[in-house]
């Protein structure tokens, strides 16, 4: 198990039931705020759980497709909002069957390599799902959406992907876990998004050729009923085995920092979608 996971205190922020008014731009601003506090040593290591309703989180590369406006119309017509995020990766589907988890570590005492941070999340999910009999593989699922070396899959079907964000000596490792619902339906949405955005043009950047059948939820993989609440409770249980869990909100100072990072996210999205008519 990664030594990063064993902490005296885990500060936990549960935003898994914020509802449809919880803006995706806010979510990434909160992680940046926590990175700043954890990285400076003002806060212990933190875990944040979050859910967004029918939102596609886009990577910077996605916003550079030659037919971005057409691609965004695919999302809008399907009833999805979209946000250009500030962490790595490509488009990811979020809805009420997807639980997101951020683990935030500090580099104040020593540097944390990219792979070490990723492995900490892999080890955490292993401890989380092990008691439920889920054993997963860790390697890229090339025809999934947002493919990466740390994709989590069972039998070639991907149910989770991991990204990172680093701010002021704070390291946020972020994972989306497809808990329930249809992985192929989510995959089809992003397949159509890229087909409309690229339209067979040659592009400098490479976009995934998505096969919806390689995406799945834990419910589809296991054949049993799974809910976000079940995984939320398992996250808390796992954290309690690693340190003292302290539920938390943003402090007054962190709220000020959040305002700064939220404004940055607003400007990022205004720039990414400037001049488009959806």
Question: Does the annotation mark 35 as catalytic?
Answer: no
- pLDDT under 70: residue ranges of the chain: 88
Distance CA 20, CA 54 (A): 9
Which residue ranges make up each domain of the chain? 3-272
User: If you search the block for the tokens 């939320």, which residue do you land on?
Assistant: 232
Asked if 92 and 169 count as a contact pair (C-beta separation under 8 A), the reply is: no
Q: What is the pLDDT of residue 100?
A: 97
Q: Which of 35, 45, 146, 178 is catalytic?
A: 146
Q: What is the pLDDT of residue 154?
A: 98
Q: What is the pLDDT of residue 18?
A: 87
- DSSP strands (E only) in 118-207: 137-138, 152-154, 157-167, 170-178
C-alpha to C-alpha distances, 193 to 60, 71, 178, 275, nearest whole angstrom: 15, 5, 19, 19
Q: What is the pLDDT of residue 19?
A: 83
Q: What is the pLDDT of residue 89?
A: 83
* Architecture category of domain 3-272 in CATH: 2-Layer Sandwich (3.30)
**Which residues are CB-neighbours of 12 under 8 A, at least 6 positions away?**
46, 47, 48, 49, 236, 239, 245, 246, 247, 248
Asked if 68 and 197 count as a contact pair (C-beta separation under 8 A), the reply is: yes
Q: What is the pLDDT of residue 83?
A: 96
Could you tell me which residues are beta bridge partners of residue 55? 81, 94
């Amino acid at each position: 198990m990664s030594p990063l996971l064993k902490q005296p205190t885990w500060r936990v922020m549960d935003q898994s039931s914020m509802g449809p008014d919880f803006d995706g731009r806010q979510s990434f601003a909160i992680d940046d705020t926590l990175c700043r506090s954890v990285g400076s040593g003002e806060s212990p290591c933190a875990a944040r759980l979050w859910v967004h309703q029918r939102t596609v989180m886009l990577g910077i590369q996605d916003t550079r497709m030659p037919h971005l406006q057409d691609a965004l119309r695919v999302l809008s017509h399907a009833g999805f909002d979209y946000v250009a995020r500030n962490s790595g990766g490509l488009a990811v589907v979020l809805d009420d069957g997807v639980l997101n988890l951020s683990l935030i570590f500090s580099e104040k005492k020593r540097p944390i390599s990219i792979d070490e941070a990723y492995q900490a999340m892999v080890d955490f999910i292993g401890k989380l799902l092990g008691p439920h009999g889920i054993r997963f593989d860790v390697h890229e699922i090339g025809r999934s959406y947002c493919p990466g070396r740390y994709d989590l899959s069972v039998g070639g079907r991907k149910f989770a992907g991991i990204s990172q964000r680093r701010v002021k000596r704070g390291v946020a490792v972020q994972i989306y876990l497809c808990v329930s619902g249809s992985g192929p339906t989510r995959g089809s949405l992003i397949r159509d998004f890229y087909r409309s955005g690229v339209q067979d043009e040659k592009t400098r950047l490479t976009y995934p050729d998505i096969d919806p059948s390689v995406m799945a939820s834990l419910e589809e993989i296991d054949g049993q009923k799974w809910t976000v609440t079940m995984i939320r409770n398992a996250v808390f249980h796992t954290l309690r085995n690693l340190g003292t869990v302290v539920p938390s909100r943003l402090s007054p100072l962190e709220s000020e920092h959040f305002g700064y990072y939220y404004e940055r996210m607003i400007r990022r999205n205004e720039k990414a979608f400037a001049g488009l008519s959806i």
